[in-house]
Amino acid sequence: MNHLTSLTIHQARRLLDAREVSSVELTQAFLERIQQVEPKVKAYVTLTPELALEQARAADRRIAEGHAAPLTGIPLQIKDNMCTRGVRTTCSSRMLENFTPPYDATVVERLGAQGAVMLGKGNMDEFAMGSSTENSAFFPTRNPWDLERVPGGSSGGPAAAVAAGEALASLGSDTGGSIRQPAALCGVVGMKPTYGLVSRYGLVAFASSLDQIGPFARDVEDCALMLSAIAGHDRRDSTSLPQPSPDFRSALSGNIRGLRVGVPVEYFNAQGMNREVEKAILDAIAILQGLGAQIDWNVSLPSTRYALAVYYILAPSECSANLARYDGVKYGYSDHTAGSMWEELEATREHGFGQEVKRRIMLGTYSLSSGYYDAYYLKAQKVRTIITSEFQQAFRTHDVLVTPTSPTVAFRLGDKTSDPLQMYLSDVCTIPVNIAGLPGLSLPCGFAGGLPVGMQIIGPALGDAAVLRAAHAYEQATEWHTRWPELE
Protein backbone atom coordinates (compact mmCIF):
# COMPACT_ATOMS: atom_id res chain seq x y z
CA MET A 1 0.00 0.00 0.00
CA ASN A 2 1.29 3.48 -0.93
CA HIS A 3 2.23 5.37 2.25
CA LEU A 4 -0.38 8.05 1.38
CA THR A 5 -3.21 5.51 1.21
CA SER A 6 -2.25 4.05 4.60
CA LEU A 7 -2.65 7.36 6.46
CA THR A 8 -5.39 8.31 8.90
CA ILE A 9 -7.37 11.52 8.36
CA HIS A 10 -5.54 13.33 11.17
CA GLN A 11 -2.14 12.27 9.76
CA ALA A 12 -3.17 13.41 6.27
CA ARG A 13 -4.46 16.67 7.73
CA ARG A 14 -1.00 17.50 9.17
CA LEU A 15 0.69 16.76 5.83
CA LEU A 16 -1.86 18.84 3.89
CA ASP A 17 -1.62 21.82 6.26
CA ALA A 18 2.20 21.69 6.20
CA ARG A 19 2.04 21.60 2.36
CA GLU A 20 4.07 18.39 2.37
CA VAL A 21 1.43 16.84 0.14
CA SER A 22 -1.41 18.34 -1.89
CA SER A 23 -5.00 17.12 -1.96
CA VAL A 24 -4.54 16.40 -5.68
CA GLU A 25 -1.55 14.13 -4.91
CA LEU A 26 -3.48 12.43 -2.09
CA THR A 27 -6.55 11.94 -4.29
CA GLN A 28 -4.43 10.64 -7.16
CA ALA A 29 -2.82 8.10 -4.82
CA PHE A 30 -6.26 6.79 -3.83
CA LEU A 31 -7.46 6.66 -7.44
CA GLU A 32 -4.36 4.58 -8.29
CA ARG A 33 -4.98 2.33 -5.29
CA ILE A 34 -8.59 1.83 -6.41
CA GLN A 35 -7.41 0.91 -9.91
CA GLN A 36 -5.01 -1.62 -8.36
CA VAL A 37 -7.29 -3.46 -5.88
CA GLU A 38 -10.87 -2.68 -6.91
CA PRO A 39 -11.07 -5.63 -9.38
CA LYS A 40 -10.52 -7.92 -6.36
CA VAL A 41 -12.57 -6.10 -3.70
CA LYS A 42 -15.42 -4.45 -5.68
CA ALA A 43 -16.24 -1.83 -3.03
CA TYR A 44 -17.51 0.81 -5.48
CA VAL A 45 -20.69 0.95 -7.56
CA THR A 46 -19.72 4.27 -9.19
CA LEU A 47 -16.32 5.97 -9.39
CA THR A 48 -16.07 9.75 -9.81
CA PRO A 49 -12.38 10.44 -10.63
CA GLU A 50 -12.95 13.70 -12.55
CA LEU A 51 -15.18 15.14 -9.82
CA ALA A 52 -12.69 13.99 -7.15
CA LEU A 53 -9.75 15.76 -8.81
CA GLU A 54 -11.85 18.89 -9.35
CA GLN A 55 -12.78 18.91 -5.63
CA ALA A 56 -9.14 18.23 -4.70
CA ARG A 57 -7.96 21.25 -6.71
CA ALA A 58 -10.58 23.42 -4.96
CA ALA A 59 -9.41 22.03 -1.60
CA ASP A 60 -5.78 22.92 -2.39
CA ARG A 61 -6.85 26.51 -3.13
CA ARG A 62 -8.75 26.62 0.16
CA ILE A 63 -5.74 25.29 2.09
CA ALA A 64 -3.47 27.86 0.41
CA GLU A 65 -5.83 30.62 1.55
CA GLY A 66 -5.69 29.34 5.14
CA HIS A 67 -9.36 28.24 5.31
CA ALA A 68 -8.89 24.49 5.82
CA ALA A 69 -11.50 22.56 7.83
CA PRO A 70 -10.73 19.13 9.37
CA LEU A 71 -11.89 17.29 6.22
CA THR A 72 -10.66 19.73 3.55
CA GLY A 73 -8.95 17.73 0.80
CA ILE A 74 -9.67 14.33 2.41
CA PRO A 75 -10.72 11.56 -0.10
CA LEU A 76 -13.87 9.73 1.06
CA GLN A 77 -16.43 7.20 -0.19
CA ILE A 78 -20.23 7.61 0.22
CA LYS A 79 -22.60 4.65 0.50
CA ASP A 80 -24.83 4.49 -2.58
CA ASN A 81 -28.10 5.18 -0.73
CA MET A 82 -27.23 8.84 -0.06
CA CYS A 83 -28.27 11.32 -2.73
CA THR A 84 -25.44 12.97 -4.66
CA ARG A 85 -26.41 15.72 -7.09
CA GLY A 86 -25.39 14.82 -10.63
CA VAL A 87 -23.92 11.44 -9.57
CA ARG A 88 -26.11 8.36 -9.89
CA THR A 89 -27.52 6.89 -6.68
CA THR A 90 -28.59 3.28 -7.21
CA CYS A 91 -29.05 1.73 -3.74
CA SER A 92 -27.40 -1.23 -5.56
CA SER A 93 -30.81 -1.96 -7.10
CA ARG A 94 -32.00 -2.38 -10.69
CA MET A 95 -34.90 -0.17 -9.63
CA LEU A 96 -32.60 2.87 -9.40
CA GLU A 97 -29.80 1.75 -11.71
CA ASN A 98 -29.94 4.94 -13.79
CA PHE A 99 -31.30 7.38 -11.17
CA THR A 100 -29.38 10.66 -10.82
CA PRO A 101 -30.63 12.83 -7.92
CA PRO A 102 -31.15 16.58 -8.45
CA TYR A 103 -29.92 17.38 -4.91
CA ASP A 104 -27.38 16.35 -2.27
CA ALA A 105 -28.19 14.60 1.00
CA THR A 106 -27.53 16.83 4.03
CA VAL A 107 -24.48 14.74 5.01
CA VAL A 108 -23.04 15.15 1.50
CA GLU A 109 -23.67 18.90 1.71
CA ARG A 110 -21.86 19.06 5.04
CA LEU A 111 -18.85 17.13 3.78
CA GLY A 112 -18.82 19.42 0.74
CA ALA A 113 -18.94 22.50 2.98
CA GLN A 114 -15.72 21.27 4.63
CA GLY A 115 -14.09 20.71 1.24
CA ALA A 116 -13.95 16.90 1.38
CA VAL A 117 -13.27 14.91 -1.80
CA MET A 118 -15.73 12.25 -3.03
CA LEU A 119 -14.02 9.31 -4.75
CA GLY A 120 -17.30 7.53 -5.55
CA LYS A 121 -20.29 5.60 -4.25
CA GLY A 122 -20.03 2.40 -2.18
CA ASN A 123 -21.64 -0.95 -2.98
CA MET A 124 -24.28 -2.26 -0.57
CA ASP A 125 -27.06 -4.77 -0.07
CA GLU A 126 -30.00 -3.65 -2.21
CA PHE A 127 -31.91 -0.85 -0.42
CA ALA A 128 -29.72 -1.64 2.65
CA MET A 129 -31.44 -5.00 3.19
CA GLY A 130 -28.86 -7.62 4.09
CA SER A 131 -25.84 -8.52 6.20
CA SER A 132 -23.28 -9.56 3.60
CA THR A 133 -23.48 -7.24 0.52
CA GLU A 134 -24.40 -10.33 -1.49
CA ASN A 135 -27.85 -8.79 -2.12
CA SER A 136 -26.39 -6.06 -4.36
CA ALA A 137 -28.06 -6.26 -7.78
CA PHE A 138 -24.66 -5.68 -9.43
CA PHE A 139 -21.99 -7.79 -7.68
CA PRO A 140 -20.95 -8.87 -4.18
CA THR A 141 -18.18 -6.97 -2.39
CA ARG A 142 -15.36 -9.12 -0.98
CA ASN A 143 -13.65 -8.89 2.39
CA PRO A 144 -10.08 -7.50 2.00
CA TRP A 145 -8.86 -9.90 4.72
CA ASP A 146 -10.04 -12.94 2.74
CA LEU A 147 -11.46 -12.44 -0.74
CA GLU A 148 -13.58 -15.59 -0.42
CA ARG A 149 -15.47 -14.08 2.52
CA VAL A 150 -18.16 -11.41 2.90
CA PRO A 151 -17.39 -7.89 4.19
CA GLY A 152 -20.66 -7.81 6.13
CA GLY A 153 -23.59 -5.58 5.23
CA SER A 154 -25.48 -3.71 4.25
CA SER A 155 -22.60 -1.16 4.16
CA GLY A 156 -20.08 -3.73 2.89
CA GLY A 157 -18.66 -1.42 0.22
CA PRO A 158 -17.85 1.47 2.61
CA ALA A 159 -16.31 -0.91 5.19
CA ALA A 160 -14.22 -2.79 2.60
CA ALA A 161 -13.08 0.47 0.94
CA VAL A 162 -11.59 1.75 4.20
CA ALA A 163 -10.03 -1.63 5.06
CA ALA A 164 -8.51 -2.00 1.57
CA GLY A 165 -7.04 1.52 1.48
CA GLU A 166 -9.49 2.66 -1.21
CA ALA A 167 -10.70 5.65 0.85
CA LEU A 168 -9.50 7.46 3.97
CA ALA A 169 -12.97 7.11 5.48
CA SER A 170 -16.54 6.55 4.32
CA LEU A 171 -20.18 7.06 5.21
CA GLY A 172 -22.60 4.18 5.76
CA SER A 173 -26.12 3.78 7.07
CA ASP A 174 -27.19 1.55 9.96
CA THR A 175 -30.76 0.23 10.34
CA GLY A 176 -30.02 -2.93 12.33
CA GLY A 177 -26.23 -3.08 12.40
CA SER A 178 -25.30 -2.13 8.83
CA ILE A 179 -22.35 0.02 9.92
CA ARG A 180 -21.14 -1.83 13.00
CA GLN A 181 -21.33 -5.41 11.68
CA PRO A 182 -19.28 -4.76 8.48
CA ALA A 183 -16.86 -2.62 10.52
CA ALA A 184 -16.28 -5.64 12.77
CA LEU A 185 -15.89 -8.08 9.87
CA CYS A 186 -13.48 -5.78 8.00
CA GLY A 187 -11.43 -4.69 11.04
CA VAL A 188 -12.22 -0.96 10.95
CA VAL A 189 -14.03 1.51 13.23
CA GLY A 190 -17.72 2.07 12.48
CA MET A 191 -20.27 4.09 14.43
CA LYS A 192 -24.05 4.38 14.49
CA PRO A 193 -24.84 7.70 16.22
CA THR A 194 -27.84 8.43 18.45
CA TYR A 195 -31.02 8.39 16.35
CA GLY A 196 -31.67 11.96 15.16
CA LEU A 197 -28.11 13.21 15.70
CA VAL A 198 -27.34 13.01 11.96
CA SER A 199 -29.87 14.17 9.38
CA ARG A 200 -31.55 11.52 7.21
CA TYR A 201 -32.52 14.07 4.55
CA GLY A 202 -31.40 12.62 1.22
CA LEU A 203 -30.89 9.11 2.63
CA VAL A 204 -33.03 6.69 0.61
CA ALA A 205 -35.34 5.33 3.30
CA PHE A 206 -35.48 1.68 4.35
CA ALA A 207 -37.04 1.82 7.85
CA SER A 208 -37.39 5.45 8.86
CA SER A 209 -37.60 4.96 12.65
CA LEU A 210 -34.39 2.88 12.63
CA ASP A 211 -32.15 4.30 9.85
CA GLN A 212 -29.15 6.40 10.88
CA ILE A 213 -26.09 7.59 8.92
CA GLY A 214 -22.63 7.21 10.45
CA PRO A 215 -18.90 7.02 9.65
CA PHE A 216 -16.37 4.28 8.92
CA ALA A 217 -12.76 5.19 9.71
CA ARG A 218 -9.32 3.76 10.42
CA ASP A 219 -9.25 4.86 14.03
CA VAL A 220 -11.50 6.42 16.64
CA GLU A 221 -10.10 9.94 16.22
CA ASP A 222 -11.01 9.87 12.52
CA CYS A 223 -14.46 8.56 13.46
CA ALA A 224 -14.93 11.53 15.82
CA LEU A 225 -13.81 13.97 13.09
CA MET A 226 -16.29 12.49 10.61
CA LEU A 227 -19.16 12.51 13.12
CA SER A 228 -18.50 16.15 14.06
CA ALA A 229 -18.69 17.07 10.36
CA ILE A 230 -22.06 15.43 9.66
CA ALA A 231 -23.96 15.76 12.97
CA GLY A 232 -26.25 18.65 13.95
CA HIS A 233 -29.82 19.84 13.47
CA ASP A 234 -31.45 19.90 10.03
CA ARG A 235 -34.93 21.41 9.67
CA ARG A 236 -35.51 19.26 6.55
CA ASP A 237 -35.55 16.10 8.71
CA SER A 238 -38.48 16.04 11.16
CA THR A 239 -36.65 13.53 13.39
CA SER A 240 -33.45 15.60 13.57
CA LEU A 241 -32.57 16.58 17.15
CA PRO A 242 -32.62 20.35 17.69
CA GLN A 243 -29.04 20.87 18.80
CA PRO A 244 -25.70 21.82 17.23
CA SER A 245 -22.93 19.31 16.55
CA PRO A 246 -20.34 19.16 19.33
CA ASP A 247 -16.62 18.71 18.70
CA PHE A 248 -16.44 14.99 19.38
CA ARG A 249 -12.64 14.91 19.12
CA SER A 250 -12.43 16.95 22.33
CA ALA A 251 -14.00 13.97 24.18
CA LEU A 252 -10.97 11.77 23.42
CA SER A 253 -9.14 12.34 26.70
CA GLY A 254 -7.55 8.88 26.86
CA ASN A 255 -8.67 8.67 30.50
CA ILE A 256 -11.46 6.25 31.47
CA ARG A 257 -10.57 5.85 35.13
CA GLY A 258 -13.82 5.31 37.01
CA LEU A 259 -15.88 4.79 33.83
CA ARG A 260 -18.77 2.45 34.70
CA VAL A 261 -18.84 -0.34 32.10
CA GLY A 262 -21.68 -2.85 32.04
CA VAL A 263 -21.41 -6.27 30.37
CA PRO A 264 -24.91 -7.59 29.45
CA VAL A 265 -25.00 -11.36 29.98
CA GLU A 266 -27.51 -11.97 27.17
CA TYR A 267 -25.02 -10.92 24.48
CA PHE A 268 -22.61 -13.66 25.45
CA ASN A 269 -25.34 -16.29 25.21
CA ALA A 270 -26.35 -15.10 21.76
CA GLN A 271 -27.26 -17.79 19.25
CA GLY A 272 -24.26 -18.89 17.18
CA MET A 273 -21.66 -17.11 19.34
CA ASN A 274 -18.15 -18.13 18.26
CA ARG A 275 -15.97 -18.99 21.29
CA GLU A 276 -12.86 -17.30 19.83
CA VAL A 277 -14.88 -14.12 19.27
CA GLU A 278 -16.15 -14.29 22.86
CA LYS A 279 -12.59 -14.72 24.18
CA ALA A 280 -11.36 -11.67 22.20
CA ILE A 281 -14.15 -9.54 23.74
CA LEU A 282 -13.41 -10.80 27.28
CA ASP A 283 -9.71 -10.00 26.77
CA ALA A 284 -10.68 -6.51 25.58
CA ILE A 285 -12.86 -5.96 28.67
CA ALA A 286 -9.86 -6.95 30.82
CA ILE A 287 -7.84 -4.19 29.12
CA LEU A 288 -10.61 -1.64 29.87
CA GLN A 289 -10.46 -2.78 33.49
CA GLY A 290 -6.69 -2.34 33.49
CA LEU A 291 -7.21 1.24 32.29
CA GLY A 292 -9.26 1.97 35.40
CA ALA A 293 -12.82 1.26 34.20
CA GLN A 294 -15.21 -0.30 36.71
CA ILE A 295 -16.61 -3.50 35.17
CA ASP A 296 -20.03 -4.86 36.12
CA TRP A 297 -20.47 -8.42 34.81
CA ASN A 298 -24.06 -8.78 36.04
CA VAL A 299 -26.03 -6.45 33.76
CA SER A 300 -29.18 -8.02 32.35
CA LEU A 301 -31.30 -6.88 29.40
CA PRO A 302 -33.81 -9.77 29.41
CA SER A 303 -35.93 -8.56 26.48
CA THR A 304 -32.89 -8.52 24.18
CA ARG A 305 -33.84 -12.02 23.02
CA TYR A 306 -37.02 -10.59 21.45
CA ALA A 307 -35.16 -7.84 19.55
CA LEU A 308 -34.60 -9.87 16.37
CA ALA A 309 -38.31 -10.76 16.13
CA VAL A 310 -39.33 -7.15 16.84
CA TYR A 311 -36.92 -5.86 14.20
CA TYR A 312 -38.18 -8.26 11.52
CA ILE A 313 -41.72 -6.99 12.07
CA LEU A 314 -41.00 -3.25 12.37
CA ALA A 315 -38.30 -2.87 9.68
CA PRO A 316 -40.21 -4.77 6.94
CA SER A 317 -43.42 -2.90 7.86
CA GLU A 318 -41.70 0.44 7.38
CA CYS A 319 -39.91 -0.81 4.25
CA SER A 320 -43.18 -1.95 2.65
CA ALA A 321 -44.54 1.59 3.11
CA ASN A 322 -41.34 3.35 2.00
CA LEU A 323 -40.79 1.19 -1.08
CA ALA A 324 -44.39 1.63 -2.28
CA ARG A 325 -43.15 4.77 -4.08
CA TYR A 326 -41.15 2.68 -6.58
CA ASP A 327 -43.86 2.12 -9.16
CA GLY A 328 -42.02 3.11 -12.33
CA VAL A 329 -44.16 6.20 -12.90
CA LYS A 330 -41.98 9.18 -11.91
CA TYR A 331 -38.41 7.84 -11.77
CA GLY A 332 -36.40 4.64 -11.71
CA TYR A 333 -36.88 1.41 -13.61
CA SER A 334 -40.15 0.95 -15.48
CA ASP A 335 -41.30 -2.20 -17.29
CA HIS A 336 -43.33 -1.31 -20.38
CA THR A 337 -43.64 -4.83 -21.77
CA ALA A 338 -46.89 -5.66 -19.96
CA GLY A 339 -50.39 -4.72 -21.09
CA SER A 340 -52.39 -2.50 -18.74
CA MET A 341 -51.07 0.13 -16.29
CA TRP A 342 -51.56 -2.25 -13.35
CA GLU A 343 -49.75 -5.07 -15.13
CA GLU A 344 -46.85 -2.71 -15.88
CA LEU A 345 -46.70 -1.64 -12.24
CA GLU A 346 -46.58 -5.28 -11.10
CA ALA A 347 -43.92 -6.15 -13.69
CA THR A 348 -41.83 -3.12 -12.68
CA ARG A 349 -41.76 -4.22 -9.05
CA GLU A 350 -41.26 -7.89 -9.93
CA HIS A 351 -38.21 -7.25 -12.12
CA GLY A 352 -36.90 -4.09 -10.44
CA PHE A 353 -36.58 -5.50 -6.89
CA GLY A 354 -34.34 -8.39 -5.84
CA GLN A 355 -35.45 -11.42 -3.83
CA GLU A 356 -34.54 -10.12 -0.35
CA VAL A 357 -36.29 -6.78 -0.92
CA LYS A 358 -39.44 -8.55 -2.15
CA ARG A 359 -39.29 -10.91 0.85
CA ARG A 360 -39.22 -7.97 3.28
CA ILE A 361 -41.95 -6.04 1.47
CA MET A 362 -44.21 -9.09 1.73
CA LEU A 363 -43.35 -9.63 5.42
CA GLY A 364 -44.15 -6.00 6.16
CA THR A 365 -47.35 -5.91 4.13
CA TYR A 366 -48.55 -9.00 6.00
CA SER A 367 -47.70 -7.48 9.42
CA LEU A 368 -49.64 -4.31 8.57
CA SER A 369 -52.62 -6.04 6.99
CA SER A 370 -56.10 -5.99 8.44
CA GLY A 371 -56.52 -8.66 11.11
CA TYR A 372 -52.78 -9.02 11.76
CA TYR A 373 -51.79 -5.43 12.66
CA ASP A 374 -52.56 -5.84 16.39
CA ALA A 375 -51.00 -9.29 16.63
CA TYR A 376 -47.73 -8.31 14.95
CA TYR A 377 -46.97 -4.60 14.39
CA LEU A 378 -48.68 -3.21 17.49
CA LYS A 379 -47.23 -5.93 19.74
CA ALA A 380 -43.75 -5.34 18.29
CA GLN A 381 -44.03 -1.62 19.10
CA LYS A 382 -44.92 -2.48 22.69
CA VAL A 383 -41.93 -4.81 23.04
CA ARG A 384 -39.78 -2.05 21.50
CA THR A 385 -40.82 0.19 24.39
CA ILE A 386 -39.81 -2.50 26.91
CA ILE A 387 -36.40 -3.01 25.25
CA THR A 388 -35.81 0.76 25.29
CA SER A 389 -36.78 1.05 28.97
CA GLU A 390 -34.39 -1.81 29.91
CA PHE A 391 -31.52 0.06 28.29
CA GLN A 392 -32.55 3.26 30.11
CA GLN A 393 -32.55 1.34 33.39
CA ALA A 394 -29.05 -0.03 32.68
CA PHE A 395 -27.71 3.44 31.91
CA ARG A 396 -28.87 4.80 35.27
CA THR A 397 -25.91 2.97 36.83
CA HIS A 398 -23.54 2.54 33.85
CA ASP A 399 -21.83 4.96 31.45
CA VAL A 400 -21.42 2.48 28.59
CA LEU A 401 -22.18 -1.19 27.82
CA VAL A 402 -19.72 -3.52 26.07
CA THR A 403 -20.72 -6.51 23.89
CA PRO A 404 -19.51 -8.43 20.84
CA THR A 405 -20.47 -6.65 17.58
CA SER A 406 -21.05 -9.86 15.62
CA PRO A 407 -21.34 -13.41 17.00
CA THR A 408 -18.92 -14.65 14.29
CA VAL A 409 -16.09 -13.43 12.09
CA ALA A 410 -16.65 -12.96 8.34
CA PHE A 411 -18.32 -16.01 6.79
CA ARG A 412 -17.72 -17.40 3.32
CA LEU A 413 -19.53 -15.98 0.29
CA GLY A 414 -22.64 -18.07 -0.36
CA ASP A 415 -22.66 -19.72 3.08
CA LYS A 416 -25.91 -18.13 4.23
CA THR A 417 -27.65 -16.98 1.07
CA SER A 418 -30.01 -19.97 1.06
CA ASP A 419 -30.94 -19.57 4.75
CA PRO A 420 -32.37 -16.09 5.47
CA LEU A 421 -32.77 -16.80 9.20
CA GLN A 422 -29.06 -17.62 9.60
CA MET A 423 -28.25 -14.40 7.73
CA TYR A 424 -30.58 -12.39 10.00
CA LEU A 425 -28.81 -13.81 13.09
CA SER A 426 -25.63 -12.00 11.96
CA ASP A 427 -27.15 -8.81 13.43
CA VAL A 428 -28.37 -10.29 16.72
CA CYS A 429 -25.94 -8.14 18.78
CA THR A 430 -26.51 -4.87 16.91
CA ILE A 431 -30.28 -4.75 16.33
CA PRO A 432 -31.30 -3.84 19.93
CA VAL A 433 -29.27 -0.62 19.69
CA ASN A 434 -31.32 0.59 16.69
CA ILE A 435 -34.59 -0.42 18.33
CA ALA A 436 -33.72 1.83 21.30
CA GLY A 437 -32.21 4.64 19.15
CA LEU A 438 -28.86 4.52 21.00
CA PRO A 439 -25.29 5.23 19.84
CA GLY A 440 -23.12 2.18 19.18
CA LEU A 441 -19.56 1.82 17.90
CA SER A 442 -17.56 -1.18 16.73
CA LEU A 443 -13.77 -1.19 16.85
CA PRO A 444 -11.15 -3.90 16.24
CA CYS A 445 -10.25 -5.90 19.35
CA GLY A 446 -8.49 -9.02 18.08
CA PHE A 447 -8.55 -11.86 15.57
CA ALA A 448 -10.19 -15.27 15.41
CA GLY A 449 -8.91 -17.70 12.79
CA GLY A 450 -6.92 -14.87 11.19
CA LEU A 451 -10.02 -12.67 10.72
CA PRO A 452 -10.89 -9.44 12.59
CA VAL A 453 -13.15 -9.36 15.65
CA GLY A 454 -15.10 -6.23 16.61
CA MET A 455 -16.08 -5.02 20.09
CA GLN A 456 -19.30 -3.02 20.39
CA ILE A 457 -19.53 -0.10 22.82
CA ILE A 458 -23.08 1.18 23.44
CA GLY A 459 -24.01 4.45 25.13
CA PRO A 460 -27.20 6.12 26.35
CA ALA A 461 -29.12 8.45 24.02
CA LEU A 462 -26.79 11.39 23.22
CA GLY A 463 -23.95 9.54 24.96
CA ASP A 464 -21.96 9.49 21.70
CA ALA A 465 -19.02 11.33 23.28
CA ALA A 466 -18.75 8.76 26.11
CA VAL A 467 -18.76 5.91 23.57
CA LEU A 468 -15.96 7.58 21.59
CA ARG A 469 -13.95 8.28 24.77
CA ALA A 470 -14.12 4.63 25.88
CA ALA A 471 -13.27 3.36 22.39
CA HIS A 472 -10.34 5.75 22.01
CA ALA A 473 -8.84 4.80 25.40
CA TYR A 474 -9.01 1.10 24.51
CA GLU A 475 -7.58 1.74 21.04
CA GLN A 476 -4.62 3.70 22.41
CA ALA A 477 -3.76 0.78 24.71
CA THR A 478 -3.78 -1.80 21.88
CA GLU A 479 -2.45 -2.21 18.35
CA TRP A 480 -5.34 -3.93 16.58
CA HIS A 481 -6.22 -0.76 14.64
CA THR A 482 -2.73 -0.66 13.11
CA ARG A 483 -3.12 -4.02 11.31
CA TRP A 484 -4.20 -4.01 7.68
CA PRO A 485 -4.89 -6.77 5.15
CA GLU A 486 -2.30 -7.67 2.51
CA LEU A 487 -3.86 -7.05 -0.89
CA GLU A 488 -0.83 -6.38 -3.08
Could you give the angle at the alpha carbon of 458 between the alpha carbons of 230 and 80, nearest 5°? Answer: 40
User: Which residues, in sequence order, are CB contacts of 280 under 8 Å at separation 6+?
Assistant: 445, 446, 447, 448, 453, 455
Catalytic option among 22, 92, 136, 154: 154
**123 touches 103 (CB < 8 A):** no
The answer to whether residue 178 is catalytic is: yes
Could you give the angle at the alpha carbon of 199 between the alpha carbons of 197 and 204, nearest 5°? Answer: 135
Catalytic option among 178, 199, 303, 406: 178
**100 touches 108 (CB < 8 A):** no
Decide the pairing of beta strands 169-174 and 75-79. parallel
Catalytic option among 22, 23, 42, 79: 79
The answer to whether residue 154 is catalytic is: yes
Instruction: Report the catalytic residues.
Output: 79, 154, 178
